[in-house]
Amino acid sequence: MHQSFKIYNQIFIRLIIILLGTGFAIFIFLNRLIFTSLFIFFIDIMLIVEMHFYVKNVFSIYDKTISSILQNDFTADYSKHRSYNIYPDLFHLYENLKNKEKERVSKDIVYRSILNNIESGIIILQKKENDWDIFLMNNYFSRHFNVPKVSKWKYLKNLLPTLCAIIEEQNFQEIKTALEIRVNQQDNQTFALQTSRSEIYNQDYFIVLLDSIQNVIEKKEKEAWINLMKVISHELLNSITPIRSLSQNLQDLVQQETISEDDLDDIKNSVATMLRRSDHLQQFVENYRKLAMLPSPRKKKISLQQLIENSFQIMNPLFKKEQIEVINTVSFNHWLQIDAQQIEQVLINLFTNCIFALKEISKKEITISAEVKEKRTFIQISDNGKGIEKEIESKIFLPFFTTRKEGAGIGLTLSKNITESHGGYLAYRKNEDGKTTFVICLVDQ
């Protein structure tokens, strides 16, 4: 505001000088000093011209700056302009907006770089009147589907008609489905399609995510095999290493000309140890065979209450021995189409884990509950034990992983495999009250 008054004052002073000069020139002209008056008139004209260019320059830099801001064009550098100090607040605003634009562009580059490095197909559409523009197509999508980075939805429809038809059928609303797309004239591949729509600052955006189900499965399988091989290698080395060492020791002993009583005792102990490690290795292989050769379920009709009651009868002696109170809250009856023996094994495995978790608890409780919703039966088994440590939560379903010295590490893995073979799943969660809960989900037939 101070600078605006300064400009007004400078223009006002120039006008006063021009008016005074004009009046003085007229006065001299009336006194017949013609050449002097003409000279003064010439000076007035020069002052008028100077004021014209001054005003033009002042408002020109103002207009250019406002125009740059409105057009979001911050390429100009006005700091070196001679009129820079006339509008300090305006240029301060310009510099702030320029810095914010640089920050926005930097973030945009970072975000696009992240999206381009994600191993999933991503398209972001932006609504323009009655059509859609392609705001972003990441590198994976363009490379995997062999399509150029087009700018219009109508061009993409010509390249990927199957995908675009599904999206248009749903009127660009949220979708979660699987679809088959032919890629590079090869066999059809199955993809998981997920879309979402959001409006930000009156701009309508539609986000499309495509994941190759085959890639996801391969990644999960690879991770599972790596974890499994680590466990198998660990178990095999734990048995083979001492057996080899003892075998070397025995070889050295039997090569002696005479064998003393102490050597004979060493031989006996070595053979006994080798036998124990061999038994352990045999048991390990047998457990692996159980996991790898799980028979297909032979499903028959059985009531939910009967299933739970059968499991209780098997486990009841152990519950009494460990002084565990079992609370059964399942009061309704419901028919299940399952392999009763296999699901009983799942329940027994979970009850056994509960017993172990309650070892150091004074008041021991196991609660079993169930509910039926959306054509699924959920059986929940909870205990008030010490729970599962956070750092091992992700490992509890791994084959042969165990925290018990006498455990084989296949109970939860076998239970998970059995439940999944029935079309359901086995999940773990920790409740807010500190109780550990395993949930068996079975699909109603």
pLDDT digits over 286-335, tens only?
655 655 556 677 888 888 888 888 888 888 888 888 888 888 888 888 88
Which of 59-68, 137-146, 164-173, 233-242 has the lowest average pLDDT? 233-242
Q: Is the predicted pLDDT of residue 279 greater than 50, yes or no?
A: yes
Rg (CA), the chain: 42
CA distance 378 to 330: 11
User: In terms of pLDDT, which residue wins out, 410 or 131?
Assistant: 131
Mean pLDDT of 51-70: 72
Which structure tokens are listed for 357?
């978790």
For residue 187, what pLDDT is reported? 53
φ/ψ of residue 427, rounded to 5? -130, 155
Give the angle subtended at the CA of 308 by the CAs of 421 and 297, to the nearest 5°: 20
pLDDT value at residue 188: 62
Q: pLDDT at position 1, please?
A: 47
Please give the share of the chain, as a percent, with pLDDT higher than 70: 70
Q: Which two tokens stand for residue 312?
A: 């209780």
| Tokens of residue 199, six digits | 């409006």
434 versus 367: which is more confidently predicted?
367
3-state secondary structure the chain: CHHHHHHHHHHHHHHHHHHHHHHHHHHHHHCCCHHHHHHHHHHHHHHHHHHHHHHHHHHHHHHHHHHHHHCCCCCCCHHHCCCCCCCHHHHHHHHHHHHHHHHHHHHHHHHHHHHHCCCCEEEEEEEECCEEEEEEECHHHHHHCCCCCCCEHHHHHHHCHHHHHHHHHCCCCCCEEEEEEECCCCCEEEEEEEEEEEEECCEEEEEEEEEEHHHHHHHHHHHHHHHHHHHHHHHHHHHHHHHHHHHHHHHHHHCCCCCCHHHHHHHHHHHHHHHHHHHHHHHHHHHHHHHHCCCCCCCEEEEHHHHHHHHHHHHHHHHHHCCEEEEECCCCCCEEEECHHHHHHHHHHHHHHHHHHCCCCCCEEEEEEEEEECCEEEEEEEECCCCCCHHHHHHCCCCCCCCCCCCCCCHHHHHHHHHHHCCCEEEEEECCCCCEEEEEEEECC
- Whether the CB-CB separation of 114 and 95 falls below 8 Å is answered with no
Using one digit for the tens of pLDDT, what is the confidence trace for 201-243? 788 899 998 887 666 656 665 666 666 666 666 666 666 776 7
Task: Of 347, 389, 397, 341, give the one whose Cα is nearest residue 368.
Answer: 347
Share above pLDDT 90 across residues of the chain, in percent, rounded to a whole number: 2
Amino acid at 219: K
The closest of 441, 397, 394 to 419, measured between CA atoms, is: 441
Closest to 55 (Cα-Cα) out of 11, 86, 91, 89: 11
Type of residue at 405:
K
Specify the pLDDT at position 445: 66
Q: Closest Cα partner for 438 from 360, 318, 330, 347?
A: 347
Q: Is the pLDDT of residue 15 over 80?
A: no
**Which pLDDT band holds residue 115 (cuts at 50, 70, 90)?**
confident
